[in-house]
Amino acid sequence: MRLLVTGGAGYVGSVCTTVLLEQGHDVVVVDDLSTGNADAVPSGADFVEGDIATVADDLLCGDGPRFDGVLHFGARSLVGESVEFPEKYWQGNVVTTLALLEAIRRSGTPRLVFSSTAATYGEPDSVPITEDATTRPTNPYGASKLAIDHAISSYARAHGLAATSLRYFNVAGAYGGAGENRVVETHLIPLVLQVALGARDHISVFGTDWPTKDGTAVRDYIHVKDLADAHVLALTKSESGRHGIYNLGSGEGFTVREVISACERVTGIPIAAVDAPRRAGDPAVLIASSSRAISELGWKPAHTDLDEIVADAWEFTRSLGDRLHALRRS
């Protein structure tokens, strides 16, 4: 298939592009490089630097060969920033995606896979979280992604678009030379690995009095390669006029202290950790139910061992050398 990947210079987008190329697809990546890295775009993909809202119509409706599908990763994704500057998320996520949806409609592009998020659920009533759980996001980031999900549903019903939203939990690991390397890093595993590299003094543990096995918060970690495989399946399993929504996680939770211990085992380096107060809005436990993705997409995570996930991330992080971003001291 000929596929357009938005945000393909970012973490998940670059890994998914790698997997698509391995499977023989023709891929065009568009990214404005506001948070992505040009050198993360896999060789073999055509790269267009530009704002999605500006270039989508030319790419999809222009005189060139038609696209068989779009995988939409391009978005702002920092929770704290979304609270401080919500306008960036309504404009950069929602308005931009509406422009993309219009280009998809006008061009007759038949398939869309959207990078959604577990943040659409907010604080869950129970775990594991299913797709039928109440959606009540606690920040503008999650709200913007939920708004896009609603827009996609209406386009699918009205215009016959075969659409899929994949709601990720905590993505980690690396694959094919692609991994996490952000200017502003907020994810636990790369932050802990930066401590191991000496790029940070310590890792902050936000909350030690949660109702969990060791008092720290529990999260579900999914390997980025498993995530990429789900996108490929979503392309092939999507149906015209239907918007499928699927959670993606390992179905297993690990505490913050368990993640730190895994990083110490993999790196062989002691990790300095400092206890800190809970952050407002952080739930105690977030674990996905991926049973719908397993039954309807035929997807099953193959890399659920936490040490394996950390080891892949560690290999990638060490390979960056002077290219490592986010060298802020904690």
Q: Looking at this protein, which amino acid is placed at residue 156?
A: A
Question: Residue 209: what are its φ and ψ, rounded to 5°?
Answer: -125, 25
Q: Exposed, middle or buried: residue 328 (CB in 10 Å: 0-12, 13-18, 19+)?
A: exposed
Q: Which residues contact 111 (CB under 8 A, 6 or more apart)?
A: 68, 69, 70, 161, 162, 163, 235, 238
Alpha carbons within 13 angstroms on the beta-carbon side of residue 141 total: 16
Cα 265 from Cα 5, distance rounded (Å)? 36
Q: If DSSP codes are grouped into helix, strand and coil, which group holds residue 190?
A: helix
Q: How far is CA 158 from CA 104, 152, 162, in A?
A: 13, 10, 11
Question: Residue 68: what are its φ and ψ, rounded to 5°?
Answer: -90, -15
Q: Which residues contact 117 (CB under 8 A, 6 or more apart)?
A: 77, 141, 142, 145, 167, 168
Q: Exposed, middle or buried: residue 43 (CB in 10 Å: 0-12, 13-18, 19+)?
A: exposed
- Taking the alpha carbons of 124, 127, 131, 133 in that order, is the dihedral positive or negative? negative
Q: Under the phi-then-psi rule, with left for phi > 0, alpha for psi from -120 to 50, and beta for the rest, what region is 26?
A: beta
Measured distance between the N- and C-terminal CA atoms of the chain, rounded to whole angstroms: 44
Omega before 190 within 30 of 0, i.e. cis? no
Contact 64, 2 (CB under 8 A): no
Residues designated catalytic: 141
∠ at Cα 153 (148, 158), nearest 5°?
125
